[in-house]
C-alpha cells in the first residue's frame, strides 16, 4: 500500500524537479535531479503571468462559488426532501437529468444568455455560471444526506419554538458537515482547474484565473515548460492551501455566505470621448509583446484604447470565435486563415483592398485571402517549412552539397547513419505534422494544386493512381527508413529535442521551432532543405501565411481598426515590433529584418521567398476535418497497418466523406 501511495507522488516529483531546470535540461533529461536549481524560473513565471492577480481571481471565483453552492444547494435539497410534492419530485428529476448534459452542447447558448444578461467579462458572471453547473450534483448529494437526518430532531426543535430557518441553520445544516465538505472538495477541484468556461466568459487580461494565465505560456507550436511548470506548481500549492483554509473554516462552523464584491469590469466600455478597438487573436506567443505594443499605441493615439484578448495554445480559437459572434460579442479585429476560413467568415469581413499597405504585400501572401479580386486580410507573417538540418552534423558526415533530389537525400542519410548520427527526427505522433505539412508536399507538387483540389471535390481527380502521390510516398518511406526509434510515439517536443540535442541531423518542421531550439542549444548552425520527392532537383520550400488580421465590417470603430492595422505595418514602431518583438518573417516588401532579429531558419525562408523559390500551403483549402483524418490515416501506414495502395485509397475515402 505504501508503494502504491508513493506512485501517486511520482507526477509531483517530475513537476517539481523540472520546474527548477533550464528549458534545455527539462527536455533532454526530465527524470534527473537538477544539477543547478533554477529558482529564477519561479520569479519569471510570477512576473510573466501576473500571478498575484491570477491567484486573487481564482480565489474569489472558487471561494464565492463554493459558498453559494453549499448554501443554495443545501437549502434546495432540504426543501425538496421535507416537502415531498409532485412538483419537487419532478424538479429533482430535472436536476438529475442536467448532470448528464455535455457542456459542449450548451456552450454557445450559455455564452449567449450570459451576454444578454450583461455578465460577460466579469468574475460575478463566471460565478453565476459555476453556480448553475455545480448545483445539480450538489443538490443530488445533499438530497440523499437530508433523507438520513431523523425527522424527530426537527420536530423537537419546532416544539421548542424554533422557526423553519432556525431548524435548518441550527439543527440540520451543522449535521451536514461531512456532506458540505465533500461538495466543497469536489467543486474546488473542478472550479480551480477549469480552463474552458473562464476562457469563454472572461476577456480582460486583469480578470484571468490561474489556468488561463498559465496558458499564455503555450503557443501554437512552442511551449515554455520552464515557466509553465513553476506556474502550475504554484497554482496547485495555493489551491491546496486555500482549500485547507476553507475546509477548516467549514469545520469550525463558519456559515458566512455573504457574496464577495469582485469589482468585475464590463468589457468594451470606454470613458466618454474614447473609442475601444476589441482585438481577438490566437498567437499566444506574442501576447506579452502585444500588451507592450498596446501601451505604446495608446500613448501615441489619445482617445483610442485597445482591448486585446488572446485565445490559443490548448484551446480551440475557432470555436471561441464562433461563440463570440453567437453571443453578440463581435470583435473589431480578429484572425482568419485563408481559403476555407475566408469562405466561412466572408460575410463579416471588410474589404481591405484600398488600404495603403496592400501594394507592399508579397504575392505569396495575397492569394489565400483574396476573393473576386478583393483582399480581405492583412497577413500576420510568413512561415515556412521543409527539412531543417544541422550543418555541423552534415559536415561531420562528409556531406558537402545540399541534397535536392530524393536520391541525393538517400545518400546523405546513408552517410549520416554511417557516422553514427540518426538522419531524421520524426514527430509523427502529431497529426498536423502528417495531415497538414507532410501530405501538403503531394498537393503542392501538382501541376496546378488549385485545379487538382477542385477536381477532387468534383470527382474528376483521384488520389490513387496520381503519380505525384506515389512519389510523395517514396519520400515518406525514406524518412521512416532512416528514422529515430518509435516515430509514432514521438511528439513535437521530443522531436525538436532529439534534433536540438544533436542526436538527429534533420527534422520536418518550420521556422517556429527556432525559439525552442535556441532554448536547448542557441549555438546550432541551422538551415532548411527542400523536400524532394523525385530525382528531379527541387530547390523550393513550402511558404505560406498562418493567419491574417481582418476587420469586422459591422464594427462601430471600423476606421480606427483600419488605422491600427496600417500603423502596425507602416510605422517604425510597428515594424520594430513585427521583427524584433514578434520575431515574424515580414510578409511585406517594405519591412526589412536581419538574421539577428529572426534567426537562421527564418533568414533561409526569407531568402527563398525573395527568390520566389516557394511552393504553396494547401491544407487550408481542404474540406473541414480532412487534415485530421489524413493525419490518422497516414499514422496507420506508419504503424504498418496498411500498405501503399490501402493508404492512397484511404486518403481518397477521407476526402470523399468530408467534401461538400
Q: Give the single-character DSSP code of 570.
A: H
Give residue for cell 490515416.
633
Q: Are residues 491 and 446 in the same domain?
A: yes
The pLDDT tens digits of the residues spanning 610-652 come to: 888 999 999 989 998 899 999 999 999 999 999 999 999 999 9
Asked if 301 and 83 count as a contact pair (C-beta separation under 8 A), the reply is: no
**Domain-located, residue 307:** yes
Asked if 512 and 222 count as a contact pair (C-beta separation under 8 A), the reply is: yes
Helix (H, G, I), strand (E, B) or coil at 549: strand
What integer pLDDT is reported at residue 69 of this predicted model? Answer: 94
Whole-number CA gyration radius for the chain: 29
**Domain-located, residue 390:** yes
pLDDT value at 509 more than 90: yes
What integer pLDDT is reported at residue 299 of this predicted model? Answer: 94
**Domain-located, residue 451:** yes
Q: Which residues pair with 588 in a beta bridge?
A: 361
Q: Round to whole Å and give the CA distance between 33 and 13.
A: 10
Q: Which residues contact 324 (CB under 8 A, 6 or more apart)?
A: 111, 280, 330, 331
pLDDT grade, residue 416 (50/70/90)? Answer: very high
In b/e form, how buried is each residue of 2-28, taking b as 16+ CB within 10 angstroms? eeeeeeeeeeeeeeebbbbbbbbbbbb
Task: Using alpha carbons, select from 250, 150, 138, 141 the residue that is nearest to residue 191.
Answer: 138
Q: Are residues 450 and 529 in the same domain?
A: yes
Helix (H, G, I), strand (E, B) or coil at 153: helix
DSSP 73-114: HHHHHHHHHHS--HHHHHHHHHHHHHTTS-HHHHHHHHHHHH
Q: Give the single-character DSSP code of 322.
A: H
pLDDT value at 520 more than 90: no
Q: Which residue has the higher pLDDT, 171 or 244?
A: 171
Asked if 131 and 68 count as a contact pair (C-beta separation under 8 A), the reply is: yes
The pLDDT tens digits of the residues spanning 211-257 come to: 888 876 776 566 666 667 776 676 667 555 655 555 555 544 443 33
Ranked by mean pLDDT, the top range of 59-73, 92-106, 141-155 is 59-73
Q: Are residues 287 and 347 in the same domain?
A: yes
What integer pLDDT is reported at residue 297 of this predicted model? Answer: 96
Which cell is 207 given? 480578470
Q: Are residues 336 and 204 in the same domain?
A: no
Q: Are residues 221 and 361 in the same domain?
A: no
The pLDDT tens digits of the residues spanning 176-220 come to: 888 989 999 999 988 998 988 888 888 777 888 988 888 767 765
Q: Round to whole Å and give the CA distance between 390 and 505.
A: 5
Structural domains counted in the chain: 4
Q: Which residues pair with 305 in a beta bridge?
A: 276
Using alpha carbons only, what angle is made at residue 348 by residues 343 and 351, rounded to the nearest 5 degrees?
Answer: 85
Q: Round to whole Å and give the CA distance between 660 and 195.
A: 33
> Which domain range does residue 458 map to?
383-544+617-658
What integer pLDDT is reported at residue 515 of this predicted model? Answer: 78
How many Cβ atoms from other residues are within 10 Å of residue 395's Cβ? 11
Helix (H, G, I), strand (E, B) or coil at 304: strand
Q: Round to whole Å and give the CA distance between 240 and 609.
A: 52
Which cell is 1 given? 500500500
User: How many residues are recorded in the chain?
Assistant: 660
**Domain-located, residue 589:** no
What integer pLDDT is reported at residue 204 of this predicted model? Answer: 76
Which cell is 268 given? 468594451
Q: What share of residues in the chain are helix, strand, coil (percent, to 5)?
A: 60, 10, 30
DSSP 451-484: HHHHHHHHTS--STT-HHHHHHHHHHHHHHHTBP
Query: CATH number, domain at 508?
Result: 3.40.190.10
Q: Round to whole Å and give the CA distance between 398 and 507.
A: 19
Residues 156, 157, 163, 169: is their CA dihedral positive or negative?
Answer: negative
Asked if 609 and 382 count as a contact pair (C-beta separation under 8 A), the reply is: yes
Q: Give the single-character DSSP code of 641.
A: S
pLDDT value at 309 more than 70: yes
Q: Round to whole Å and give the CA distance between 329 and 334.
A: 12
Q: Which residues pair with 467 in a beta bridge?
A: none
Q: Are residues 403 and 516 in the same domain?
A: yes
pLDDT value at 527 more than 50: yes
**Domain-located, residue 52:** yes
pLDDT grade, residue 258 (50/70/90)? Answer: very low
Rounded to the nearest 10 degrees, the angle between the axes of helix 177-193 and helix 225-251 is 160
How many Cβ atoms from other residues are within 10 Å of residue 108's Cβ? 17
Q: Are residues 298 and 375 in the same domain?
A: yes
**Among residues of the chain, what percentage have pLDDT more than 90?**
51
- The set of long-range contacts for 588-591, using a CB threshold of 8 Å and a minimum separation of 24, is 588/357, 588/360, 588/361, 588/362, 588/379, 589/360, 589/361, 589/362, 590/357, 590/360, 591/360
Q: Round to whole Å and give the CA distance between 450 and 647.
A: 22
Q: Which residue has the higher pLDDT, 522 or 31?
A: 522
Q: pTM for the complete prediction?
A: 0.69
Q: Round to whole Å and give the CA distance between 209 and 238.
A: 12
Q: Round to whole Å and give the CA distance between 72 and 283.
A: 40
**Domain-located, residue 437:** yes
**Domain-located, residue 608:** no
Q: Which residues pair with 223 in a beta bridge?
A: 218
pLDDT value at 541 more than 70: yes
Q: Are residues 176 and 201 in the same domain?
A: yes
**Domain-located, residue 258:** no
Q: Are residues 63 and 11 in the same domain?
A: no
H or E element: which one contains 392?
A: helix 391-396
What integer pLDDT is reported at residue 245 of this predicted model? Answer: 53
Ranked by mean pLDDT, the top range of 273-277, 309-313, 448-452 is 448-452
What integer pLDDT is reported at residue 28 of this predicted model? Answer: 64
Q: Which residue has the higher pLDDT, 238 or 596?
A: 596
Query: CATH number, domain at 86?
Result: 1.10.3720.10
Task: Using alpha carbons, select from 58, 75, 111 the residue that is nearest to residue 238.
Answer: 58
Q: Are residues 75 and 143 in the same domain?
A: yes
Asked if 330 and 349 count as a contact pair (C-beta separation under 8 A), the reply is: no
Asked if 9 and 506 count as a contact pair (C-beta separation under 8 A), the reply is: no
What integer pLDDT is reported at residue 238 of this predicted model? Answer: 57
Give residue for cell 477541484.
189
What integer pLDDT is reported at residue 378 of this predicted model? Answer: 97
Q: Round to whole Å and give the CA distance between 500 and 630.
A: 28
Q: Are residues 179 and 209 in the same domain?
A: yes
Q: Are residues 449 and 438 in the same domain?
A: yes
Amino acid at each position: 500500500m505504501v508503494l502504491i501511495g508513493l506512485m501517486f507522488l511520482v507526477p509531483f516529483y517530475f513537476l517539481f524537479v523540472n520546474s527548477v531546470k533550464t528549458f534545455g535540461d527539462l527536455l533532454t533529461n526530465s527524470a534527473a535531479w537538477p544539477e543547478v536549481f533554477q529558482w529564477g524560473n519561479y520569479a519569471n513565471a510570477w512576473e510573466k503571468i501576473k500571478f498575484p492577480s491570477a491567484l486573487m481571481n481564482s480565489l474569489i471565483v472558487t471561494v464565492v462559488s463554493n459558498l453559494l453552492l453549499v448554501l443554495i444547494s443545501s437549502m434546495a435539497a432540504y426543501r425538496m426532501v421535507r416537502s415531498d410534492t409532485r412538483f419537487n419530485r419532478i424538479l429533482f428529476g430535472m436536476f438529475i437529468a442536467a448532470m448528464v448534459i455535455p457542456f459542449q452542447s450548451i456552450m454557445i447558448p450559455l455564452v449567449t444568455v450570459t451576454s444578454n444578461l450583461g455578465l460577460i467579462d466579469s468574475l460575478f458572471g463566471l460565478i453565476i455560471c459555476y453556480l448553475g453547473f455545480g448545483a445539480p450534483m450538489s443538490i443530488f448529494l445533499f438530497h440523499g444526506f437530508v433523507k438520513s437526518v431523523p425527522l424527530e430532531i426537527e420536530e423537537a426543535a419546532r416544539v421548542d419554538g424554533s422557526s423553519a430557518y432556525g431548524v435548518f441553520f441550527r439543527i440540520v445544516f451543522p449535521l451536514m458537515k461531512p456532506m458540505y465538505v465533500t461538495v466543497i472538495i469536489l467543486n474546488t477541484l473542478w472550479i480551480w482547474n477549469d480552463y474552458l468556461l473562464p476562457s469563454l466568459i472572461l476577456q480582460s487580461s486583469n480578470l484571468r484565473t490561474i489556468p488561463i494565465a498559465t496558458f499564455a505560456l503555450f503557443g501554437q507550436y512552442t511551449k515554455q515548460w520552464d515557466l509553465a511548470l513553476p506556474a502550475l506548481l504554484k497554482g496547485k500549492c495555493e489551491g491546496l492551501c486555500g482549500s485547507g483554509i476553507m475546509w477548516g473554516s467549514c469545520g469550525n462552523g463558519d456559515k458566512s455566505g455573504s457574496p464577495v464584491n469582485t469589482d468585475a469590469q464590463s468589457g468594451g466600455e470606454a470613458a466618454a470621448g474614447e473609442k475601444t478597438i476589441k482585438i481577438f487573436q490566437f498567437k499566444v506567443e506574442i501576447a506579452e509583446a502585444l500588451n507592450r505594443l498596446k501601451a505604446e499605441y495608446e500613448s501615441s493615439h489619445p482617445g483610442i484604447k485597445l482591448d486585446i484578448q488572446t485565445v490559443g495554445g490548448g484551446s480551440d480559437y475557432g470555436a471561441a470565435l464562433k461563440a463570440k459572434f453567437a453571443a453578440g460579442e463581435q470583435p473589431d479585429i480578429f484572425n482568419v486563415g485563408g481559403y476555407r476560413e475566408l469562405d466561412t467568415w466572408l460575410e463579416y469581413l471588410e474589404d481591405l483592398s484600398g488600404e495603403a499597405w496592400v501594394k507592399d504585400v508579397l504575392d505569396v501572401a495575397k492569394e489565400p485571402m483574396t476573393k473576386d479580386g478583393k483582399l480581405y486580410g492583412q497577413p500576420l507573417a510568413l512561415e515556412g517549412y521543409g527539412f531543417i538540418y544541422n550543418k555541423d552534423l552534415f559536415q561531420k558526415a562528409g556531406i558537402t552539397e545540399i541534397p535536392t533530389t530524393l536520391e541525393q537525400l538517400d545518400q546523405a542519410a546513408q552517410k549520416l547513419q554511417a557516422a553514427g548520427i540518426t538522419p531524421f527526427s520524426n514527430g509523427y505522433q502529431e497529426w498536423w505534422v502528417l495531415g497538414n505539412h507532410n501530405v501538403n508536399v503531394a498537393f503542392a507538387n501538382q501541376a496546378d494544386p488549385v485545379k487538382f483540389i477542385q477536381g477532387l471535390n468534383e470527382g474528376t481527380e483521384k488520389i490513387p493512381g496520381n503519380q505525384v502521390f506515389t512519389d510523395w510516398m517514396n519520400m515518406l518511406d525514406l524518412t521512416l527508413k532512416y528514422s529515430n526509434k518509435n516515430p509514432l510515439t514521438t511528439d513535437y517536443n521530443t522531436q525538436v529535442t532529439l534534433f536540438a540535442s544533436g542526436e538527429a541531423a534533420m527534422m520536418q518542421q518550420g521556422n517556429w521551432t527556432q525559439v525552442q531550439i535556441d532554448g536547448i542549444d542557441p549555438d546550432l548552425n541551422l538551415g532548411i532543405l527542400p523536400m524532394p520527392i523525385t530525382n528531379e532537383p527541387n530547390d523550393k520550400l513550402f511558404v505560406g501565411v498562418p493567419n491574417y488580421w481582418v476587420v469586422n465590417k459591422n464594427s462601430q470603430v471600423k476606421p480606427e481598426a483600419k488605422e491600427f492595422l496600417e500603423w502596425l505595418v507602416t510605422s517604425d514602431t510597428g515594424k520594430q515590433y513585427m521583427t524584433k518583438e514578434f520575431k515574424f518573417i515580414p510578409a511585406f516588401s517594405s519591412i526589412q529584418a536581419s538574421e539577428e532579429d529572426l534567426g537562421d531558419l527564418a533568414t533561409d525562408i526569407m531568402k527563398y521567398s525573395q527568390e520566389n523559390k516557394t511552393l504553396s500551403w494547401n491544407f487550408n483549402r481542404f474540406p473541414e476535418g480532412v487534415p485530421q483524418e489524413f493525419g490518422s490515416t497516414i499514422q496507420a501506414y506508419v504503424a504498418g497497418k496498411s500498405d501503399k495502395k490501402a493508404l492512397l485509397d484511404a486518403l481518397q475515402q477521407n476526402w470523399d466523406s468530408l467534401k461538400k
